Amino acid sequence: MHKIVSIILPTYNEKDTISLLVEEILGRISSDSEIIVVDDDSPDGTGGIVEKISQTDPRVRLLRRKERGLTSALRAGIEAARNDTVIWLDADFAHPPEVIPDLIDAPDDFDIVVASRYITGGHDGRDSKIRRGASIVLNRIGQWWVRSSVRDLSSGFVRARKDVLTHLDFRGTYGDYCIDFLVRAEKKGYRIKEIPYTNSEREKGYSKTTANPLIFLRYVLLYIKTIIALR
């Protein structure tokens, strides 16, 4: 594997997974690629763990922030990325690192490559029927409403050229950013490819979206609002 990439990992309280995840990713990227961990001042010591790793492997970089928020963390990582190809994923193993080589090896003539649960060969492997059902419904309705060819608009596991990301920027506060980004990119004429993958439940800790049913509902409504506005 010789393609050079920048991997962005937004983190907040991921001390139980971050060390193993970084190790797994390092084994799947080239020697001149990089991992940028954007940590939102995690009180559990996530940043300190990453800092120690970075002292032994220069491919790992830590960005500490006082600000919090997924979208702004991704922006910070993209701005700091040294390479033309950027990949981002969750830091809780819900996005399996073994899919990264598939994203890297996808044809270069695509501007954006999306790891997709909803094309042939893909699967939503989470335990919760409510979460799986809500995601399927939102993506199907969203795809129909905005007339998109992308089946997994809320993927959050994506490879893109840095210049595309700089041109479009990210809008939104949480997972809605991905829906907004992919729909606008498609409307701008950027070439998008989906590759199949299976996601899973986070390995340790708790989900930041479904720890509380009211929080889960809030995000569902946020996604719906984003989809309606994109028409």
User: What local confidence, expressed as pLDDT, does residue 80 receive?
Assistant: 97
Q: What is the pLDDT of residue 209?
A: 55
Q: Of 224, 104, 206, 211, give the one whose Cα is nearest residue 157.
A: 104
Structure-token match 């990453």, residue found:
50
pLDDT band at 202 (very low <50, low <70, confident <90, very high): low
- Judge: domain 6-230, CATH 3.30.70.20: no
What does each C-alpha distance from 38 to 18, 20, 60, 89, 191 come to in angstroms?
A: 12, 16, 11, 12, 28
CA–CA gap between residue 222 and residue 44 (Å, rounded): 28
Mean pLDDT value across residues 169-175 = 90
Residue 193 has pLDDT above 80, yes or no: yes
Give tens-digit pLDDT for 104-148. 999 999 999 999 999 999 999 999 899 899 999 999 999 999 999
d(CA 191, CA 63): 30
Higher pLDDT, 100 or 212: 100
For the ranges 1-15, 54-68, 83-97, which has the lowest average pLDDT?
A: 1-15
Residue (of 88, 110, 127) closest to 8 by Cα position: 88
pLDDT tens digit string along 28-72?
Answer: 999 999 999 999 999 999 999 999 999 999 999 999 999 999 999
**Residue spans per domain, the chain:** 6-230
Percent of the chain exceeding pLDDT 70 equals: 95
> Using 50, 70 and 90 to split pLDDT, how confident is the model at 12?
very high
What pLDDT does residue 205 have? Answer: 52
User: Residue 93's pLDDT band (boundaries 50, 70, 90)?
Assistant: very high
CB atoms within 10 A of CB 117: 25
| CA dihedral of residues 97, 99, 101, 103 (deg, nearest 10) | -120
Q: Poorest-confidence range of 1-10, 39-48, 153-162, 181-190?
A: 1-10
Please count the CA atoms within 13 angstroms of the CA of 115 that sit on its side-chain side: 26
